[in-house]
């Protein structure tokens, strides 16, 4: 009964020898490096997506805040509205510097 699995006992040479360990180690190191780089890129992509979401919410907040700010034009319109709604009353409205 002969075995087809190579072993030094039955006359076949071994597949893994001292000469094949270095190339196998290099292949393993390259694969490990590729996996590490892939995981780092995924982490960076997740961080970038998080920062984009935060930036988008900041833009929305700034847009809301800027809508609530008084501009010179809004102040002038408010003065005209006050004067129109309170005709005949003595209302002092400060002037707007140019």
On whether both 77 and 62 belong to a single domain, the answer is no
pLDDT in tens, 35-46: 999 999 999 999
pLDDT in tens, 67-87: 777 778 888 888 888 888 888
Q: Supply the pTM of this predicted model.
A: 0.45
On whether both 63 and 78 belong to a single domain, the answer is no
On whether both 59 and 87 belong to a single domain, the answer is no
The 3-class secondary structure across 9-54, one letter per residue, is HHCCCCCCCHHHHHHHHHHHHHHHHHHHHHHHHHHHHHHHHHHHHH
On whether both 22 and 48 belong to a single domain, the answer is yes
Range of the domain at 58: 17-67
**How many whole angstroms separate alpha carbon 19 and alpha carbon 9?**
20
On whether both 73 and 62 belong to a single domain, the answer is no
On whether both 63 and 74 belong to a single domain, the answer is no
In a domain, 7, yes or no: no
Work out how many domains the chain is built from and give that number: 2
Cβ atoms of 9 and 1 closer than 8 Å: no
**How many whole angstroms separate alpha carbon 57 and alpha carbon 50?**
11
Which token pair is 80?
Answer: 């005209």
């Amino acid at each position: 009964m002969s075995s087809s699995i190579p072993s030094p006992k039955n006359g076949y040479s071994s597949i893994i020898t001292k000469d094949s360990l270095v190339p196998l180690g290099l292949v393993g190191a390259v694969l490990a490096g590729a996996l590490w780089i892939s995981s780092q890129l995924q982490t960076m992509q997740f961080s970038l997506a998080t920062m984009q979401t935060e930036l988008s919410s900041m833009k929305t907040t700034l847009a809301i805040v800027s809508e609530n700010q008084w501009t010179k034009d809004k102040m002038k319109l408010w003065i005209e509205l006050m004067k129109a709604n309170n005709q005949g009353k003595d209302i002092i409205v400060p002037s707007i510097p140019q």
